[in-house]
Amino acid sequence: MAVQEEKLICRNVWKIFGSGAREFLVASGGSPELDALGKSGLVGAVRGVNLGVRAGEIFVIMGLSGSGKSTLVRCLSRLIEPTSGEIIFNGENLLAASDARMIEIRRHQMGMVFQNFALLPHLTVLANVAFPLEVQGVDRAAREARAQKMIELVGLAGRERFFPRELSGGQQQRVGIARSLAVEPELWFLDEPFSALDPLIRREMQDEFIRLQSVLKKTIVFITHDFDEAIRLADRIAIMKDGAIVQAGTPEELVMQPADAYVAAFTRNVAKAKVLRAASVMKSTSTAAGPTVSHRTTIADAATQFAPGFDVLAVEDETGKTIGALHRADVVDVLMRG
């Protein structure tokens, strides 16, 4: 399975709030300790962050409230101006881009979805979804045709003439997702998009999000504080604490190989079957027979796929090629060991 190129690269990014932040950062050699920031009356919201987001992956940034995750995602799109560092998108350093260039990039290459939906109450669903295209100057027929496709994609066909007040919370969030997709973004930012929804609707929206990504294959930066949500959606996860990333890796790596006591505590109650993937438990072969599962399927989900009379699942890669066999006994062993 080939590793995709990195579409977004973050190099030593800092965001320090307070008077004289940039001068303090330079005077301290570019890497001040957290205590030193506090003693100077400064807040290190993002501290020395390095990461790379690969094309087509869901990269989840998570942490407790106040860890810096939302500030970081706003720095990545320069909705908040970083104090220092480099943010490379498609080979271009966004921190060197003019304001006009950043507006162009946000309008044409980035999509954003936030927790509060931010729908325009006086516009219909169709008009809300078409609004970013109207801002771009797209003619009415073209923008409404594009908006209609996005509305159908998120499962809201038939509600085009509804107003936001006439929709449920989950439906409103679908409108927000459709609107952000209308510009066909290369890079999609989602900041806790489902956290305001009740648990049942939240689960449905996660399912919908997984379905959309299987079709669209966007490059996604997704913010959450919910580890169950993170491991369900993520290709890779970065855990933040006090503005810094303490560990980044696959859900399996974080749970099975925590970098420190903080990550271990964060992941302690996660059932291993929820994070271990078929690729980690399977026996390599190209000739397995029986029902098939993706190499990314978790053991918890794979356990439900065994058909009567079959003790083996054929594991396929993203091209549909058989790469292994997942045996019922090995799945039961993982489930029994928690």
Q: Is residue 91 part of a domain?
A: no
How confident is the model over 303-330, as pLDDT tens digits? 988 888 889 999 998 888 999 999 999 9
| pTM of this structure | 0.85
Domain count, the chain: 1
Q: Is residue 278 part of a domain?
A: yes
How confident is the model over 207-242, as pLDDT tens digits? 888 888 888 889 999 999 888 889 889 999 999 999
For 317, the domain range is 274-336
Q: Is residue 280 part of a domain?
A: yes
Q: Is residue 310 part of a domain?
A: yes
Residue 296: give its domain's CATH number: 3.10.580.10
3-state secondary structure the chain: CCCCCEEEEEEEEEEEECCCHHHHHHHCCCCCCHHHHHHCCCEEEEEEEEEEEECCCEEEEECCCCCCHHHHHHHHCCCCCCCEEEEEECCEEHHHCCHHHHHHHHHHCEEEEECCCCCCCCCCHHHHHHHHHHHHCCCHHHHHHHHHHHHHHCCCCCCCCCCHHHCCHHHHHHHHHHHHHCCCCCEEEEECCCCCCCHHHHHHHHHHHHHHHHHHCCEEEEEECCHHHHHHHCCEEEEEECCEEEEEECHHHHHHCCCCHHHHHHHCCCCHHHHCEHHHHCEECCCCCCCEEECCCEHHHHCCCCCCCCCEEEEECCCCCEEEEEEHHHHHHHHHCC
Q: Which residues of the chain have pLDDT under 70?
A: 1-3, 338
Q: Is residue 305 part of a domain?
A: yes
Q: Is residue 115 part of a domain?
A: no
How confident is the model over 23-36, as pLDDT tens digits? 999 999 999 999 99
Q: Is residue 299 part of a domain?
A: yes
Q: Is residue 12 part of a domain?
A: no
Residue 338: predicted pLDDT? 64
